[in-house]
Structures are given as structure tokens and as C-alpha cells.
Structure 1
Amino acid sequence: MREPGTARSTRLSRYGFVDAAKAAEHLSGDVGLWDPVTATPPEGPAGELLETFAVAADPDLAALQLHRLVEKAGPEPVRAAVRDLPGWRRLLAVLGASSALGDHLVANPDEWRLLAQPLSTVDLGAVADVPALRLAYRRVLARIVAADLTGAFALEAVMAALTDLADATLAAALDLARAERPDTAAQCRLAVIAMGKCGGRELNYVSDVDVVFVAEPPAGESDVDGALRASATLAARMITICGIVAWPVDAALRPEGGRGPLTRTVASYLAYYTKWAKTWEFQALLKARPAAGDLELGAEWLAALQPAQWHAADRPEAVEEVRAMRRRIVDAVPRGEVDREIKRGPGGLRDIEFAVQLLQLVHGRSDESLRTPSTVEALRALTAGGYVGRADGEALLRAYRFLRSVEHRLQLQRLRRTHTVPEDPDELRWLAAGLGFRPNAQRDAVEAFRAEWTRLSGDVRRLHEKLFYRPILEAVARVPSEAWRLTPESARARLEVLGFADPAGALRHITALTGGVSRTAAIQRTLLPVLLSEFADAPEPDGGLLAYRKVSDRLGSTPWYLRLLRDEGVVALRLARLLGISRYVTELLSHDPEALRLLADDAELVPRTGVDGFLAAARRHKNDPIAAAHAVRARRRRELFRTACADLLGRLDVHAVGDALAAVTDATIAGVLEVANPTGLSFAVIGMGRLGGCEMNYPSDADVLFVYDPGDRPDEEARRAAQAVAEELRALLSRPAPDPPLGIDADLRPEGRQGPLVRSIAAYAQYYGRWSKVWEAQALLRARFVAGDPALGARFIEMADRIRYPAGGLTREQVTEIRRIKARVDNERLPRGADAAMHTKLGRGGLADVEWTVQLFQLRHGHEVPGLRTPRTLDALTAAAKAGLVTPADADALAAAWRLATQVRNALTLVRGRAVDQLPRHGADVNAVARACGRPASVESGEFVDDYLRTARHARQAVERTFDAG
């Protein structure tokens, strides 16, 4: 008994057919690939042909088109396939991928034979008229499609073949136009310049072909107007012919767009691009390529315009204009299509092209290897030249090839222009199959396609943001084109203009950094013109360049170093500013190169105030105190670098700097104390002076007191244990190391250096209650628990409050004693030869003046004014003003002087790399300090010094009205 027809025909489904019954009808009869009676393929080679349907984009469409072709041409296509299987595969691939080309083959039944012949070169042959040209175009197009679909052509070869076909079509159409109007043709020379994808030799199957036209009178003639009229006639006819034959020709990229003349002379183009062209027009010129007509004239046109093209990025608005154009393109995509657009939407082809083109415009001024109209070639050159990282370049190439392949398959089906992935499930299945995706046990072909599209589109979005909005691009663009092409002689002259005192030495550094053909040297050649401009803004450009060379010598072979400077452009600019101003930062970086990574992320320039990381570093080496201290100090070095960079980059005010320096000191002491106190003795470190007030500057020692509680231990045992802890803490922190030293100064303890290094809480209470002097109560004003046993620290502070905020304030004699001590400090501690007006700490209106004034308020009124009970100078000054102890004007003057003196003192250390208290009145260091304090480069050093003197003078006058006379 025979099986029903439907059951028999479903056996075809294993070849990929969706409608197996309909496929059985199409493959029966003259096609001869299916026997409707036995429901089997024929025996022998003909039966094997069915296997090839499974790799067609749409097996059902292929069967239908084959049936139609055999109806028109007879069974010969199938018979030929038995003799030539590769030819059969090409035929079936075309029939299953494009209904439009299937219609063409059915309408021209002999054309299928050409598909069996491999395509080596694009040749339209001789064409006598427009219909012949249209037929020739379709014939070659079908052969390109066959080579594409069967893997004979890779993507680049497909794009090149389509471009060659377009060039040949343009040339043939122009020849037909000339043949129609020979008299007109004789009046001009006409060159057709391909633009856009055609210019880049990356044409897709269905696209407008962008062109511009260049015309000149024939050799020996001078009738320009006549040549322009004749050329416009020929160009218009050529456009019409191409629209009939293949695709629209778009000449809108010409000067003035649709409003401008269709053809222009070389001189007219040059005048326009020199005076009027916008950045996007120069961007479009990146793809310009003589394609048809008078190629010699086309080359002349291109040579005339390229100098202006490669200066386009010099304009200050150029980079932002390209970015704005990209945003407008995205905004123009209909909202419902933006996620399905493979060309204009985010993560699409335009993201790749715009990123590549912007890098070409900026870097192509100096690097001629980037001057190619091809996106693929330009991306390879950018990668080879170090402008794009290798992994990033490969990721973009993969995404570009994938997205262009999707675009090709979308357009092939009906030979219509589209860049939108369909929503219809059947069309999606066809697209996925056409791209080679096949179902497996985990997911079907559409799911596999979507996963790959999502992954690569995400890569494009990420890399587009990374490259297109790279901060260093604006800085590179600001460097004039001439700066990139210098002889040694002109380089020295330019370095002199930039302010380098030793241009020959600077040139040696530059040569050492950029010499050779290595990738490292190539990236340095990209960075250095920008960095030199940044160093030129520094007070001593030579120092900045020398520091940069030292860092590069240390890190140049580290894979991430130059990649970080190139890809995270803000790092290069920040590094240049820091190295150009600060020896302190340079020294820190030389010992901790990895810290450079902090400059890439704003969040990393926020000081870390917690102690946990320091404690963890110590505990990792709990059995080796020296290693533990080394780990803690390395962490301190990193935090000092973080704070100094944030300070110099204007991200911290003077209060935040003091807080950060105090916090890192607290954490360092706590971390080392973790291993210095192995017995767990109740031990606390009390911060004094600037540490206690959270008003440290970069080189400050840590003023401390050591206190312990013996608990259940015998007093002498506890005392010896506490002494050992204090000495071990100081020893571990004073060992030679590559980080800035942290001195532990305990001289503010009772009886000073003659007194014991440590005391019990009871001993402190006894001493302060019976024998302390007023100056010791004054020193306690800044006492603050820093590290160790928090409960013990709280007990000490509670005890200190009774001493530093005495009930009833101070006696007249005590006030007099404080003034006497202050006068002695002013006279004896100011260094010999120091400028009393410019010394930030002990000078007139300096830190000591303000702090002693505020501390006198605290000692006299702290008991009854709670706001004065703080170790911080400015907080206490604010409370004094609110309590009416000082006028608002004097409080403002004192606060302003304290802030400026603190800021200048910090800046002096950052600039010189060591502790400095006196601001010089002139010289490069004054300029550097002004810059470190956030003053713009336009502020003269004398102006900054005058500002400091004026601020200090107002503060000194307030001191005389309050501290001296109050």
C-alpha cells in the first residue's frame, strides 16, 4: 500500500524545506529531483543534488525558482549540474538567496550558464545602449552574488568586486552619454569622483552611488563656461542612465549640495574648500577616489584638495562637529527602528566608520599611512600605527565584517536598499540561514544570529565611545599640523618657542622616546606633540619632559602603560600637568608606577579614608612585622599619590586635603600598630598638632602621645610592654623605604624630651592635674584619638577636655604667658634670613598667627562655648565669630589667610618635592605654586605674590586687634 502523498513529501523536510509538499511539486516533473510516486530522489548523481538545498538561504525559494527556470529553459540546468557540481552550487545559492535575481535568470534563461563560470575580473563587455548595459550589469552582479554565497569571495573581495562593477557602470554610462552627444562631449574634460562607500571601495549590493564631478576645458582651450555647461549635460545624462541600469547616482556631496552647480573646475573646488567647507565635507573627502571619465583630471583634483583636507582637524571646532554629526544621524533614525538598524543605529556601521574617520582626520595629518579611503584598510593602519589597540582593532574588524555581511544578505533578497533587520519570523530565519547560522541542540539559527549580533553590536558601542570620545583627540587636534612634521633644526626652534630652556636636550629626550619603528615609538609619536604643548604651559617645560622620559623609561615596556595614555586620553593630559608641576608626584610615581592607573577614573581620585585596607595589609604579614610595615607604607604611598593628584587637578579643597592626609596617617599608624603590639596591651595613640587638627601638609611629622592602661598587669610589666610597643612603632615607620618618611614626634608629651615616652592613663591625669603649664593645655587643644584601643582613647580625650577647656578660662597671667611664648616663637624659630612676610608658617599673617589667636579663644572661652571644643582651627574660628568673640571681618581675614597659607605650603612641597615653608617672591617656583593652587597660567607670579602679601597683611592686622590687644 502506497503512503499518502503528504506523508511521502514530508521526507523532503530533512533537506531544510519548510513546505515539503510544495517543494515536492516543484522538484518533480522536468526538474527531475523528486519522484512523486516513490517519494524518493532519483538514483545516482542527480539524487545527490538535493543535499545542496540544505545550505541554501531559503530551500523553498530555491526549489520554486529552479522550477520556474526549468519551465523556461528546459531540464538542461539540472543535467549540467550533474556534470558540474560547483556550478550547481552557485546557481542554487543565487536562487535561494534572491528572488530578484531569480526573476532575472528566469527572464533571461541562458544567463544561468554564466554562473557556472568563476568570476575573476569585472568586465561589462561592449554595450551599445542602455538596455544592453542593464543586462550586462545584472549578469556580472549575479556572478558576484554566486561567488559571495559559495565562499569564493570573502567580504572584502565582494565589496571590491561591487565597486569595480560600479566603476565600470559609471564609465559605460558616461560613454553612452558621450556617444549620444558627441559635440557636447568634445567641449570638456570630465572626471567622475566616487565618494562614500563607492569611493572607499566598500560598496554594498544596493546603494546610492555618491559622486562629484570635475570639469575642465579640453587641452589648449580656455572656455571654462562652455566646458561647465557641456559637462553638466553629460553628467546629468550619466546620472539618468545609471538610475535606469542599476542604482541612483547621488551628487549631493558636492559643494553647496543640491543648490550648487553639478560640475566645477579644480580651481572652483579649491576655492570652496579653502574658504567655506564645513568639517563634514572634509570628512567626506576621506572617501574621494577618481572612478571614471578623465582619471588624470580626477587625480589632479584630489592632489589639489588633499592639503586642505589634512588641515581640517586643525580647526578648534572640528572634533566636536564630527561628533555632533554622528549624534544627528542617530537622532534621525525612527524610534521604532533604532534597535534593528545595523547601519545608522548605535552599535552599527556608522559608529565604526565615524570613529575611524575621526581618527584619520586627526592623526592622518602627520601619518600618511592613514590616508586611505577604505574603512578596513584605515582600521588596519590605525592598529598598526598604535592609534588603536590590537584587541580593539580586531574587535572592530570582526564587527564590521559581520554587519556588512548582514547588510548584504538583507539587500540580496529583493535587491532593495535596506539596513533594518526584519521582525517577521520567516524573514529572520531566511536571514540567519543566509549568514550561515544553523540550529543546534542548544538554540535555533535565529537565536544564534541574535546572540552574535548582540555581542558584536555591544563591542561596537563600547569601542565607539572609547575611540570617538577619546579625550586626547581634542588635544591632538589642537596641535598645529606643522608641529608633526619637523626637521631637527625646526624642532629646536619650535621647542624654543614653546619655552624649553634647553631645546637640544629636549630634542634628545624626544628622539629617545620616538626613535625606531617599534609600536611603542609609534604611540609615543602620537602622544608627544600633545604632551609637549601641555609641558609648555608648565613653569619649567624641561622638567616636565624629563620627568615624562623617566616614567616612560621605567614603564615603556609595560604593555598597559602607553595603551592607557592613548586610550584614556585624560590620563595623558593629567600626567603631563602633574609631571610639569610636581616633583613630589613624580617621585611617588617613580616608586609606584602602577598608581598611574588612578588617573583614568575620577572615582579613583577620591581619597580613601578608611583604615580597613591598611589593617588587612598588615595582617597578611602578621608574623613578619617588617614585611607588614612595608605593605602598610606602600599603601600609604599610593594614597599620598591619590591625594596629591586630586589636589593638583583641582578636585580637593584645602580642608579635604588636610582630612585626607590625616586619614592616611591615622590608617598608617593603625596598620603598623597592629603588628607592633602583639600582646594586645591596651594602648592608644593620641594625635596632636596638625595630625590632631586634621590639618597636616604633605611632609608633616605625626605629633603624638602614647598612652596605655595596665589593666590586670603589674605596673612595671605593663610600662615595659608599652615602651616596647612605642619604640617598635617608631622603628618600623622610620626604616629606609621608597615612600616619603613619616616621622613620629612625641615631643609634646609631658616634660618634653626629658619625660617618659609612654605613660599610663592615670599618670597623664596626675601630671596634667598637678604640674602642667598653660602651653601644655594649649597643646592638648588638638588632641584627638588616632589608633589603638578606642575606649582608652575616649578616656584620654575626656580627661584632656578638663585641662584644655578650663572652667573660668585663663587668668591674666596665663594670657600674658601665652603671648610671651608666641613672641619668643616668632623671634627664635623663624629661620635666619627668612622673609617674615613670605613665611607661610611663622611669618606675619601666617599659620602660627592665626592658630595661636584661635587657640587663645578656645582656652579662654571653650568651657562656656561648645563650638570652640574642636581640634580644627577654622571650625573653632567660626564658632568664635558666632559667639561674638571676634568680628566677622576679622574672622574672614584670619580664615582667608589660613586657607591660603596652608594651600601655598602644600603647593611648595608638591612643586619642590620636599618640605618648604617660604614662598619666594619671584622665579619659576612661584609660577608653579600658583598653578598648583589652581591659578590659571595667565596669572603673573607678581600678581600671585601680591595676593598672598595682601591676604597675610589683613590677617596680621586682625591678629593685632585680637590676640595682641584682646
Structure 2
Amino acid sequence: MQFDEEIEKILDIAWHQQTARSSLVRWHEVCEKENWGQIPKHMPFLIHLFGASWYFTRYVFSRGPKGAELIDQALSESFSFSQLHQRLAPALQAQDPEQGFERLRILKNEIMLQILIAHLMGSLDQEQTERKLTMLADATLETSLKLSGLHEFSDCRIAVLGMGRMAGYEMTFGSDLDLIFLFDSSSEESIAELSRKVRMLLRHLAVASSSGLLYEVDMRLRPHGTSGALLTANRSFIEYHRTDKEVWERQMMTRCRCVCDEGNLGIDTLEQVMPHIYSHYNAEHLRHEIATMRQRVLLEKGSPRAKLEIKRGKGGIMDIDFLTHYLQLKHGCQMASLMTCSTRQALRILSENRIIEPTVGADLLKAYDFLKYIESCVRLFDLKPVSTISVNHQENASVALATGFGHDTVAFMEKYFDVTSAVRRDFERILELH
């Protein structure tokens, strides 16, 4: 199929050009066959989408005219939790949980598609995109709890803690949900029923259908990890963190936020736990433990064969995370503002208080956005939590296009190595590794 010059220009800058072209040909064929007309109005948006995400390409085809309508509808500037709950509310009107969760998959992916379009067209920067994706995850989880009947217990309070990226409003496309479930009840019968409903919730969250999926869920950060109970009594959670723990467990808790709460169970629990996280540490022991854990991750997962690890590799996202963990734990007991779940916010506060030089903080923030943007790009295609690019520059054509380097994959790789080398230098200097 031949396209006009304007369409060809847009196809030339699509991240995955062949995918975009073949999908556009197929879209025109389907529109003609189904008599849909020339939709959407904003054809460049559709082409950019086809080039960026095979997951959402399939989704748009499955929704037909409704998918085109979503592409033409701008994301509301007053993007709020109340609006999100309103848009997800029809899922709660379904006759049974199975139908409700299927409806929720459609609604959640509609909103995520609009966030993606705004992201691709430059209306949202990386930080704004991550915040909106996390707000969507929060609202989806809360709706899922209601669909699972977890709000129906009269003698049991529950709370859900979001960990990692979810805690800091820094989720990207393809991020999973790191969750911990807390409860407060003395009724064995209620606890057993609660456990059953949580298992049903987790199954529905992770199951994919023709409408897509909700979220993959990771429960490994709960007390005692995979060997621990699925649900944790709030008193046990408090006691667990009151005792001496490994530094890595303290690091983990710097990224912990109550995302769903009933009767302030989660908030009250964290108020009792956080003084034990942000306590007084032996500075040398803290430095050594965090540096050792980072090196362990680097050796075990930071150098996959023929790949560059954006997250775990040298100078990657995890270097920035770990240096902020270190400085937050070191100074947090004297500076309450450092008790933030956001890596970006931590860097800003550290810079403002000259714990790190403002120029260093600014460079780390730019590096963080650059690396998180690359991570978003590679995750978008299949909406999977991958974090690698190829060591072969020619295989990174889509990422080079996405990051503004056009077809110059060599320049993209030079920029990547410049950024990661600078991050690694800052990490080693702050952690005193020389």
C-alpha cells in the first residue's frame, strides 16, 4: 500500500518501523472492510502508537472504533483519583467478579492507552507519566479489592502496602505491583475467608484475557519473603521491623506506601514502623552493607549476555536508587523530609540541603529520567518488565528513535555510556568505594 508523503515521514520516525507500517496497512484494510471510515482523526497518533507498542496495537484493533475514539480524546488535564474511580466504577456494576474483572481490564487499558498517547506526543514528561501510571494502578487495585469482596468484613480491617516504584509514584509501562497485605482480626474464620479472597484477587490481577491484563504482582517483599504467610497481621509486621534487620530490609522499607487502607490500619502501622527504619546507624556499617548488596546484584544480574542492563548494570537506575537509600537512611532520622518514597524527591531534598552538591543532584535527576525513559521504551512493546538493551548499537534502532537520536544508533550508545559512566562515578564517590 502506498502512503502520501506526510504519512511516510511519520512512519520514518516510528520506533519499530516495520511493525508500524504493517499495522497501518492492516488498519486501513479493516476500516474499509467494516465501513468504519477514516478513523482516528489524529492519524499521526495512531502511527506513533503502532510503532511503540505491539500490546496496545492489538488492543486498539480489538476495540475498533472505540480504540480510535480513545486516541482522539485528549487525556484530561485535571487527572484525579476521583475521575479515575468514576471511569473504573462500571466494573463494579457487573453481575459477578469474573465479568467485573474483565470489564476492569478494558477500562484500565483504555486509560493507560490515553496516558501512552499523551506520553508519546510529548504532553507528559517522564515524571508526569510515571505519576499518572501509578495513580491508575492505585485506583485499579482499590477497585479490584471491592470486586473481590475485601471491603465486606465487619470484624477485620485490611490494608495494602505498595512497595518499590509503586510507593514512589514512579511506575513505568510494564511495571508490576509489589504488594504486602496487612490485616487486623482475631476471628480465625474471617482470616481464612480473607485469605481466600486475596488469592482470588491475585489470580484476577495477573490473568491475561483478550482485553489484556491488569498487573503482574510480586509478593516477595513481605516479611520472610516467599516462605512467609500471604497475609501479615499488623502486630506481627510491627514486631518484625522493630527487631534488628539486615540493612537491605531497611532499604526496602524506604519505598513503602499505604495504597489501600481501612480504618487507618496501614497508616497507623507505618507510623509505628518507620522510626525503626529511619533510626541511628553506624555510618560505616551502613555504607559497607549497601555497597556490598549493590555489588552482589551487579555480579548476579547486572551483566546479561550480549545485553546492557538499564536497571541493574553499572551506572544504571539501581545505582541512583542505592545512593539515595544510603543517604536517606544515614540522614533521615535528623531530617524528616528525607523520609520520602520517591527517588526523585529524595535527590531534590538532598540537593536543597547540600548533602550532595546541587549540580550532582541535577545531573542524577537528568540521568534518572533518561534511564527511566529508555526502560519505558523497551517495556512498551509487550508491556513486560524488561530492562535491557543490546550491546550491538544496530539492534537499538527503536530506542535511538525514541530518545531523539533518529537513526544515529552510535550517538545514542555514546550518550548511554556517558550517562551511565557519570552515574557510576557519583555512586562510587558517595559510597566511598575508591
- Tell me the percent identity: 27
TM-score for both structures, normalised by structure 1: 0.41
Aligned to 2:210: none
Aligned to 2:308: 340
What letter corresponds to residue 410 of structure 1 in structure 2? V
Aligned to 2:69: 113
Summarize deviations over 1:430-462 as a string: whole Å, max 9, x none: 1211222124xxxxx201110110110111110
Specify which of 15, 23, 31 is matched with residue 57 of structure 1: 15
1:163 and 2:134 are equivalent in the alignment: yes
Aligned to 1:263: 231
Aligned to 1:390: 358
Summarize deviations over 1:583-625 as a string: whole Å, max 9, x none: xxxxxxxxxxxxxxxxxxxxxxxxxxxxxxxxxxxxxxxxxxx
Specify which of 351, 365, 370 is matched with residue 319 of structure 2: 351
Q: CA deviation at 1:295?
A: 7.0
What letter corresponds to residue 325 of structure 2 in structure 1? Q
Q: CA deviation at 1:337?
A: 3.7
Q: CA deviation at 1:59?
A: 3.5
Aligned to 2:97: none
Relative distance call for 1:78 and 1:421 in structure 2 (3 A) is farther
TM-score for both structures, normalised by structure 2: 0.88
Summarize deviations over 1:901-929 as a string: whole Å, max 9, x none: xxxxxxxxxxxxxxxxxxxxxxxxxxxxx
* Distance (whole Å) between structure 1 residues aligned to residue 17 and residue 307 of structure 2: 29
Aligned residues: 412
* Distance (whole Å) between structure 2 residues aligned to residue 295 and residue 111 of structure 1: 39
Aligned to 1:233: 196
Aligned to 1:572: none
Structure 2 unpaired stretches of 5+: 95-99, 208-212
* Distance (whole Å) between structure 1 residues aligned to residue 35 and residue 272 of structure 2: 57
Relative distance call for 1:103 and 1:78 in structure 2 (3 A) is same
Tell whether the 8 Å contact from 1:144 to 1:158 is kept in structure 2 after alignment.
yes
1:101 and 2:56 are equivalent in the alignment: yes
Tell whether the 8 Å contact from 1:70 to 1:76 is kept in structure 2 after alignment.
no
Structure 1 unpaired stretches of 5+: 1-24, 29-33, 35-40, 42-46, 218-222, 440-444, 472-966
Q: CA deviation at 1:50?
A: 4.3
Relative distance call for 1:78 and 1:278 in structure 2 (3 A) is farther
* Distance (whole Å) between structure 1 residues aligned to residue 364 and residue 144 of structure 2: 36
Tell whether the 8 Å contact from 1:410 to 1:418 is kept in structure 2 after alignment.
yes
Q: CA deviation at 1:383?
A: 0.4
* Range with bigger deviation, 239-248 or 225-234: 225-234
Q: Secondary structure at the match of 2:258?
A: strand
Within a 5 Å distance, the mapping from 1:572-721 to structure 2 comes to: none
Relative distance call for 1:466 and 1:65 in structure 2 (3 A) is same
Aligned to 1:525: none
Q: Secondary structure at the match of 1:124?
A: helix
* Range with bigger deviation, 272-281 or 353-362: 272-281
1:91 and 2:46 are equivalent in the alignment: yes
Aligned to 2:106: 135
* Distance (whole Å) between structure 1 residues aligned to residue 21 and residue 130 of structure 2: 28
Larger radius of gyration: 1
Specify which of 270, 279, 282 is matched with residue 247 of structure 2: 279
Specify which of 84, 88, 99 is matched with residue 124 of structure 1: 88
Q: CA deviation at 1:423?
A: 4.9
* Distance (whole Å) between structure 1 residues aligned to residue 294 and residue 280 of structure 2: 17
Within a 5 Å distance, the mapping from 1:514-529 to structure 2 comes to: none
Relative distance call for 1:367 and 1:425 in structure 2 (3 A) is closer
What letter corresponds to residue 166 of structure 1 in structure 2? A
Within a 5 Å distance, the mapping from 1:464-863 to structure 2 comes to: 464-469=427-432
* Distance (whole Å) between structure 2 residues aligned to residue 436 and residue 362 of structure 1: 38
* Distance (whole Å) between structure 2 residues aligned to residue 470 and residue 227 of structure 1: 51
Tell whether the 8 Å contact from 2:328 to 2:338 is kept in structure 1 after alignment.
yes
* Distance (whole Å) between structure 2 residues aligned to residue 257 and residue 97 of structure 1: 35
Q: CA deviation at 1:49?
A: 4.4
Within a 5 Å distance, the mapping from 1:36-435 to structure 2 comes to: 41=4, 48-74=6-32, 79-80=38-39, 84=41, 87-109=42-64, 110-120=66-76, 121=79, 122=84, 123-127=87-91, 128=94, 129-178=100-149, 185-217=153-185, 223-244=186-207, 245-294=213-262, 296-311=264-279, 313-314=281-282, 317-333=285-301, 335-337=303-305, 340-423=308-391, 427-435=395-403
Tell whether the 8 Å contact from 2:306 to 2:391 is kept in structure 1 after alignment.
no
* Distance (whole Å) between structure 2 residues aligned to residue 154 and residue 174 of structure 1: 30
* Distance (whole Å) between structure 1 residues aligned to residue 336 and residue 302 of structure 2: 38
Q: CA deviation at 1:156?
A: 0.4
What letter corresponds to residue 387 of structure 1 in structure 2? I
Relative distance call for 1:348 and 1:411 in structure 2 (3 A) is same
Q: Secondary structure at the match of 1:347?
A: coil
Q: CA deviation at 1:270?
A: 1.2
Tell whether the 8 Å contact from 2:316 to 2:420 is kept in structure 1 after alignment.
yes
* Range with bigger deviation, 344-353 or 116-125: 116-125
Q: Secondary structure at the match of 1:199?
A: coil
Q: CA deviation at 1:297?
A: 1.8
* Distance (whole Å) between structure 2 residues aligned to residue 295 and residue 435 of structure 1: 45
RMSD across aligned C-alpha pairs, in angstroms? 2.4
